[in-house]
Amino acid sequence: MSAPPVRRQTSMSARPVDGGPEFPPQPLTGWREILIHLSLLAARISTAHSPWIHGALRMSTNLHASPPDMTLVAEQVKRLARGLGFDLVGIAPAARSPRESYIRQWISSGRAGQMTYLADRIEERIDPAAFLPGARTIICVAMNYFAPLAAPDARQAAGKVARYALGADYHELIKPKLYAIADWLREAVPGTRTKCGVDTAPILEREHAARGGIGWVGKNTCLINERIGSWLLLGSVLTTADLAVDEPSTDRCGTCTRCIDACPTAAIVEPYQLDASKCISYLTIEHSGDIAEPLRGKMQHWLFGCDICQDVCPWNGRAPGTEIPELKPRLPAGTLNVDEVLAWSKDDFDRTFRHTAVKRIRLPVLQRNARIVKEQRPRISTTDREQE
């Protein structure tokens, strides 16, 4: 099935905006603007972004013409997305994945580990039109979650938590914003249908985001943007609207192999190919049951997730800090005392990780990881001293 013909923008939509809208914003008039305003309020937007939001609400009269100007609609969608707090936004064609054979082989070869659910809706993942009949384009958004961390207390047996899980649960943060974009689009283009996703829908978010110009998929399989790096939370709005799409990003990894060389478990088996069953992030979150050697002995100090391949990426060397208050780390050093974790009750776990991504796993899994960290601490300390 060939991709439908698409309109293409002449400029890169993922670039940062140089200036905000003029002030004061025009008052809301008409039922369309009121509905849009209500959807934005439902998104629980930080007041820090209110100037951008008001600018997004200033609708052009051409937007409501029949038929609507789809290039103008695309630009308004991007303005709205930025006003909602997304750092990057691009629009990609809702085309069938050119990597279909690789994806099917990746799953059948066992590289997905215990994530058997990935095969359940494989046709929908490969073909957006199977997920949303009539789909034409995908609005791809990304939010920077990077924040510098304090040095951990050397006196504690500290286990590390991946940066994306240190703030508020990104699902709870991003979903309402995607719904606001979808609501706006359905009002702007009557008859439009939409489906939203924040890594739980059968949408190949990184692949589509790369086609939408947000960044490229790096050798560690993370999406990388030249300005922000790979510290990105992704979301998407699949739509039947035939929006103008952006130019795809260009791979800029070059000859660098730092991520491949740094992975303790050799999970990046080749450039751009990840064996998830070996990945520390998978092992600490998705894998149930015991973790056998030799992987167990290579997990180092990670309690939840892993950032090693991102920490060593040169594109992350100058990553700006997030401006979203909800994404600021609740654990300043990004660590937990594993002795305390091992003593926790379920109530302790629920209270500590309420409204965070860590609640995805159960306490017994976190305590399993804590025991592994505690086992490895002497080995890690010895290795560090030898390297010094």
Q: Tell me: the pLDDT tens digits for 212-258?
A: 999 999 999 999 999 999 999 999 999 999 999 999 999 999 999 99
pLDDT of residue 41: 54
Catalytic residue flag (residue 199) = yes
Can you say how many angstroms the Cα of residue 91 is from the centroid of all Cα atoms in its chain?
16
Can you say how many angstroms the Cα of residue 107 is from the centroid of all Cα atoms in its chain?
21
How many helices (DSSP H) and strands (DSSP E) are in the chain? 14, 11
Q: Which of 69, 127, 199, 251 is catalytic?
A: 199
DSSP strand E in 8-99: where?
88-93
Could you give the CA distance from residue 384 to residue 380 in angstroms, rounded to a whole number? 6
What are the residues whose beta carbons fall under 8 Å from the beta carbon of 311, sequence distance 6 or more? 262
Closest CA relative to residue 67, chosen from 245, 242, 246: 242
Hey, where are the domains in the chain? Answer: 29-148+167-290+307-326
Condensed to tens digits (0 to 9), the pLDDT of residues 9-67 reads 433 333 333 333 322 233 334 444 444 555 555 544 443 444 445 444 444 434 555 67
Condensed to tens digits (0 to 9), the pLDDT of residues 263-288 reads 999 999 999 999 999 999 999 999 99
